[in-house]
Structure 1
Amino acid sequence: MGRCSNNLVTILNIITLLLSIPIIAGGVWLSRQANTECERFLDKPVIALGVFILVVSLAGIIGSCFRVTWLLWVYLFVMFVLILLLTAFTIFAFVVTNKGAGESVSGRGYKEYRLGDYSNWLQKRVESNKNWNKIRSCLQDSKICQKLIDDGSNTKVEDFYQKHLSSLESGCCKPSDVCNFQYVSPTNWTPNTTSNATNPDCAAWSNDQNVLCYNCQSCKAGLLNNIKDQWRKVAILNVIFLVFLIIVYSVGCCAFRNNRNDSSYKRYP
């Protein structure tokens, strides 16, 4: 059983080592292909993650295959800390994404988004001017409204109202429905004298294609809704990954105990 556990740890870590190679390559590719600061945001974390997996996998392979007990102990310690951190992050992700959802609007194919519907922790992240200025720059660079801009005046008002817009398109690329603006084109609206003056988004809207509703509360809410959906998916994947890590950790503990037993036998023949 001991020898089997060592072999299994070696095989599992060879698999993770091979997986680290495309992760590192992907990070390097991102750093070379990115044209803006926003596109380069993920390259260093991706490379760091790939290198971390590579180093941990090598420690597991050497520790189990060559019976290096102290290295296997370091490997198990790192795995234990990783399991704790991943568990904490997964619980946190489910908690902060528990609130918030788009509101259906009668006669509309899209939903409206309100910032106050989301968790306070997420709200604070986007209410900071320093944070939002960077996020807004990234949203503009990503050209999320480009599809609506390309449609131009060809889209009739009744057709636009039936569009299934994403949360970012709905929140950032058009004014809120409560403003009662008159439709000209998907990204061009005429203010109405009966508009809802109590909603700050009505005053924040601009027909300037570089401004639109990027300064609106609805845009921040649309971003949070997008983050919520992505974090939920990541949290579910984390649960699956946690199960895998716990299995590897359990097998690694068996291999560690086997290494210690072998050392004892050699020391006391």
Structure 2
Amino acid sequence: MACGRLSNNLLGILNAIMFLLSVPVLGAGIWLRARADGTECERYLSAPVIALGVILMLVSLAGLVGACCRVNCLLWFFLVAVFVLIFVLFAYTVFAFVVTNKGAGEAVSGRGYKEYKLGDYSNWLQKRVENNKNWNKIRSCLQDSKACKKLQEKTWTQDQFFRADLSPLESGCCKPPTSCNYTYVGGTNWTTAATTSADPDCKAWVNDGTALCYGCQSCKAGVAAAIRRDWKRAAVVDIFCLVLMAIVFSVGCCAIRNNRRDNNNGYRGVWKQGGNA
């Protein structure tokens, strides 16, 4: 019976923590949705954030009430929800590792940054980035978020720029490919000239701050590289979350088993008292 009290108390504490965590998640999603000056990207991202916050809140409330009040039907709902979350998270983690197992930036001689080729990444990533409908949304997000603003504000010399450690997005979307042999002027401005390079991105590049190389294959490759990097990081966090949810699931199973045992003991006690009477 002590184990029963311990499992219910521990489950209640874990769910109280989960509930507290769901509040800022839900609040962040609502804030992104309500921002008057929010970008299209922020509004697009608000939907899954709100959904995650609501799910966490409902699941944690069910587990909290079920554990504290010993309501087995709520605990069963909680366990089913946690099991589904474990399954979805496990499937996503495996998928993320499979999709991100290919691709890396190519070092360029005399440069601190790397350059990216879309063909180096998994077929799934290539198809998603190449899709015109998807790319139009991504391009809009890149423009709204001013992905190249940091570089536009730099007052580097050419040597300083060449030694810079640029992010995949900055390398792919905010400058022309090195093979174009354009001359660096400053910020995101380059002196374009006739080039013998066969790279179509050389013709796609413009100095206009709203366009730059957002229509280039190198930009799509930079986005693929950024997705690969972020998904790999997320997959590592997911493994930790899987272990944590597995522990919560085990504690929940223990709480239900002990609640059932306590209820059975209570029924036996009532039956014995009735028999003695």
The answer to whether the Cα contact below 8 Å between 1:64 and 1:255 also exists between their aligned partners in 2 is yes
Are 1:215 and 2:210 matched, yes or no? no
The residue type equivalent to 1:223 in the other structure is: V
Structure having the higher Rg: 2
SS at match of 2:41: coil
Large movers: runs of 4+ above 4 Å: none
Deviation at 1:209, TM superposition (A): 1.9
Stretches of structure 2 that go unaligned for 5 or more consecutive residues are: 270-277
Count of aligned positions: 266
| Equivalent position of 1:241 in the other structure | 241
Identity of aligned residues (%): 59
| Equivalent position of 1:135 in the other structure | 138
Deviates more, 1:181-190 or 1:258-267: 181-190
Are 1:258 and 2:261 matched, yes or no? no
The answer to whether the Cα contact below 8 Å between 2:32 and 2:38 also exists between their aligned partners in 1 is no
CA distance in 2, matches of 1:115, 1:194: 22
- 1:16-42 Cα offsets, whole Å, 9 max, x none, are 111111111222222233522112122
| Equivalent position of 2:167 in the other structure | 166
| Equivalent position of 1:90 in the other structure | 93
- 28, 31, 43: which one pairs with 2:30? 28
CA distance in 2, matches of 1:96, 1:11: 37
CA distance in 2, matches of 1:264, 1:147: 67
The answer to whether the Cα contact below 8 Å between 2:204 and 2:215 also exists between their aligned partners in 1 is yes
CA distance in 2, matches of 1:75, 1:255: 12
CA distance in 1, matches of 2:65, 2:150: 52
CA distance in 2, matches of 1:218, 1:87: 32
TM-score (norm 1): 0.94
Deviation at 1:6, TM superposition (A): 1.1
The answer to whether the Cα contact below 8 Å between 1:181 and 1:191 also exists between their aligned partners in 2 is yes
| Equivalent position of 1:2 in the other structure | 4
1:1-269 equivalent positions in 2, closer than 5 A: 1-33=3-35, 34-151=37-154, 154-197=155-198, 199-269=199-269
The answer to whether the Cα contact below 8 Å between 1:136 and 1:214 also exists between their aligned partners in 2 is yes
The answer to whether the Cα contact below 8 Å between 2:169 and 2:222 also exists between their aligned partners in 1 is yes
The answer to whether the Cα contact below 8 Å between 1:27 and 1:43 also exists between their aligned partners in 2 is yes
The answer to whether the Cα contact below 8 Å between 2:39 and 2:145 also exists between their aligned partners in 1 is no
CA distance in 2, matches of 1:191, 1:252: 65
Deviation at 1:265, TM superposition (A): 2.4
CA distance in 1, matches of 2:152, 2:10: 55
The answer to whether the Cα contact below 8 Å between 1:181 and 1:195 also exists between their aligned partners in 2 is no
CA distance in 2, matches of 1:148, 1:57: 44
TM-score (norm 2): 0.91
The residue type equivalent to 2:181 in the other structure is: N
The answer to whether the Cα contact below 8 Å between 1:180 and 1:195 also exists between their aligned partners in 2 is no
Deviates more, 1:83-92 or 1:175-184: 175-184
